[in-house]
Amino acid sequence: MSENEVSQQTKLFENSYGARDYKGVREMVLQNKTSFPTDQFHYNIGTLYAKEGELHFARYHLQKSLKFEGFRPEVFNNLKYVDDSLGIKDDAISVYAFVDLPSSFFMIVTLFLLILAALLLRIRVFKKIQIWILFFTLSSLPYFGSLLSKHFVSGAINIGNGELRAGPSNIFEKNGEVPKGQKLITGNVDKGWCRILYPFRYVGWIEKDSLGFY
């Protein structure tokens, strides 16, 4: 794309956004998806969905943006606005830590603990080497624990009808509905159905197509 075409595209974006044609801007962003870094793409789409009042889609895309590029203030601010507007209270934020936070966060924590372990060994804080080995081993748990957890559980947000079943099929009894925008921790998938592990009040099975994974 030439510099002139980029300038025209940018002007079109600005004019549409200024006219509050958020759906039009969103369609343009989707058409030009490859022009954006992945985190910026999801941030833009999530913000536009929030402007349109489609809060469940907004939460999904903003959460996905956070996974690719953690700790950006504008993502946190928009996500907080969406979460507050949805009025959905997550049961325990700490439970979502291993699926919500980017791997880079756990890598930094682990690196800090390993450096601390090396310093403690150097100044001989530990009287027995076995205690230091235990401390060193535990220091690696945040990063490797986060990697391991991603093989067994996934973070997801309900962006569909949210019908909850007792088993992985429509033939099973309906146990209720998951509200749109609800954050979930899911486990195994069976024939297009996904098992919800958390929050506990939604434990059951939901169609995989109803979920946006991040």
pLDDT-derived band of residue 1, with 50, 70 and 90 as boundaries?
very low
- The CATH code that applies to domain 153-213 is 2.30.30
Sign of CA dihedral 198, 203, 205, 211: negative
| H/E element, 147 | helix 141-152
Find the radius of gyration of the CA atoms of the chain: 22
**Cβ atoms 190, 135 nearer than 8 A:** no
**Cβ atoms 62, 43 nearer than 8 A:** yes
pLDDT-derived band of residue 4, with 50, 70 and 90 as boundaries?
very low
pLDDT-derived band of residue 93, with 50, 70 and 90 as boundaries?
low
- What is the average pLDDT score of the chain? 84
- The CATH code that applies to domain 3-86 is 1.25.40.10
Sheet with 163-165, side-by-side order of all strands? 174-177, 163-165, 204-207, 193-198, 183-190, 154-158, 211-213
Which alpha helices (DSSP H) does 69-128 contain, by range? 73-86, 97-100, 103-122
Per-residue pLDDT of 44-86, as tens digits, reads 999 999 999 999 999 999 999 988 876 688 888 998 899 899 9
Query: What pLDDT, on the 0 to 100 scale, is given for residue 6?
Result: 43
pLDDT-derived band of residue 11, with 50, 70 and 90 as boundaries?
low
Residue at 116: amino acid letter: L
Residue spans per domain, the chain? 3-86, 98-150, 153-213
